[in-house]
Structure formats: structure tokens, C-alpha cells
Amino acid sequence: MGFRRFLRFAAALVLMAALGQPMGRAAPPAALSLTYAVSIRGFPLLTLDVRIAETVGSYTVSGFIRTAGVVDLLADFVMQSESRGTIAADVLRPSLHETASHWRNGQRGTHLEYAGDGTVAAVVTPAEEPGRPEPPLPTPEQTVGTLDPLSAILAINRAIARAGSCAMQVPVFDGRRRYDLVLADDGMERAPAAAGAAPLRRCGIEVVKIAGFPEKEAARPDHGRAWIQAQGEDQPALPVRIEFDTRWGPITMRMTHADPPR
């Protein structure tokens, strides 16, 4: 896996795993902004900013990722994403998802539009990087009924709020890759913060790769863990730490800021 492809892969994992968002209260919550620092083997890799806004019957989720530290000097990688959709009977229905990324010597974009029957129209540019053939894209049949990565963020935590459990499977299509996010409960643990802090719920995460991945990556599931902390009545539960195992080493995300403060 080349360095640029690894950065896109790491950014995709970050968006797959960022689980913090409002819990579906009766009144629409204020927009929530979260910031995470992402490191690999202890070295700064990326920063992630996520913003979630809901109204009665609709949602908007945006994400901004860029390289950090020495990696930023080498790659100058930036990814911006936004998803919009509706909420009916507590079911999310995305309508539009767009992603644009660029680095020192290139750029690419994704535009997804969703029809009422669950089909997805995808436009990816460029289709391939010069000298870097891409694996075949998923078929239209494989993408029916899927969510984009940012809508999946919202859907996962709504499901956790309803069921009080991480156990679920979410079908995701990001314009190039089709995968399932499979979550499982992994127990509770005491928070390392001050006495009285809410305990942490551990969730196991597995990325089951279905289509659109290079052959060597497709056969290797990615495993991760998230530590989610309830913030109190009528407030969102937030992931305070997320870890993923990769061939490059463990990737760790830690929440560094929340607005409004929690």
C-alpha cells in the first residue's frame, strides 16, 4: 500500500469509527462539534473535526480531516466530507454525500445521490490515479440500501441509544468501497477521569470488506475498539478513544475538544 493510499485508508477508518453524535432527543439538539487527535504508534498522523446538526426530520454531518506533524510536511493531505438526509420514524435516509480530498500532487472527489428505492448513484473523480490502477468498483446491486460513512456515524449511535448495546451491523458505501461495520459489546470499564465520571462502554468494531478493496487488503478484516462514555441525561454519548489495528501499526483517536463542552 503506497503512502497516499494509506492516508486515504486511515482517513476512511477515522470516519468509520467516529461514533459521537446526538442521541435523538424529542427536541432537536444544538449542533455538536468534536475534535480528535489521531496518532500511529504514538506519532501524530491526522486531526479530525466532526460537526453534527439535526432539525426535526433532517440531519447534516460534516467531517474535516488533515495530516498533522511531520506527516503534514510530507503529504499536506486534506479531506472534507458532508452528508445530508432525512429522519423518519428514527430511520436515517441519506440524500446526498460529497467528499473531496487533496494532497501535494493530486486530488479526488466522490458524489453520491440516493433515490427513494435505496439505490445509489455514484460519481468518482478521477476514476484512477495515473500508474495506480484501482480495484473494480462495487456493483449497483451491492450498494442498494447502504449508508455513506457520515450517515453511518449517526445511525450507529442512534441504534446504541435505542438498544443500550453496541451489537449491530451497518452496510456502508463510500463511493469506491463497500463494507459492513460489525459492532459488538465488549463490556464496561471504569473511566480514568476523576471520581464520579460515567463508566466507559467498550465496543468491538470489525470492518468486513465486500468490494472495491485491493486484493491484498480485501482478505484482511480490520479490527478496532471504541470506548464510549455517557455524558448525562439528555446528552450524547461520546467516544473518548478509538483504536484500530493496521499493518502499519495501531491507529489511536482521542477526543480533544467538544463544543458545547461536555
Supply the pTM of this predicted model. 0.84
Q: Which pLDDT belongs to residue 7?
A: 52
Query: Vertex 18, ends 12 and 21: CA angle to 5°?
Result: 140
Distance CA 149, CA 61 (A): 10
Distance CA 7, CA 36 (A): 16
What is the pLDDT averaged over residues 172-177? 93
What is the pLDDT averaged over residues 92-97? 95
Is residue 34 scored above 90 in pLDDT? Answer: no
Sequence ranges of the domains in the chain: 3-259
Q: Which pLDDT belongs to residue 174?
A: 93
pLDDT confidence band for 103 (50 / 70 / 90): confident
Helical segments of the chain, H only: 3-17, 69-75, 140-143, 149-163, 215-218
Q: Which pLDDT belongs to residue 258?
A: 81
Q: Which pLDDT belongs to residue 134?
A: 79
What would the grid cell of residue 15 be?
Answer: 470516519
Q: What is the pLDDT of residues 178-231, one digit of tens each?
A: 999 999 999 888 877 654 567 788 899 888 999 998 887 777 778 888 888 765
pLDDT confidence band for 96 (50 / 70 / 90): very high
Place of cell 462502554: 201
Q: What is the pLDDT of residues 113-166, one digit of tens each?
A: 999 999 999 999 987 666 667 788 999 999 999 999 989 888 887 777 677 788
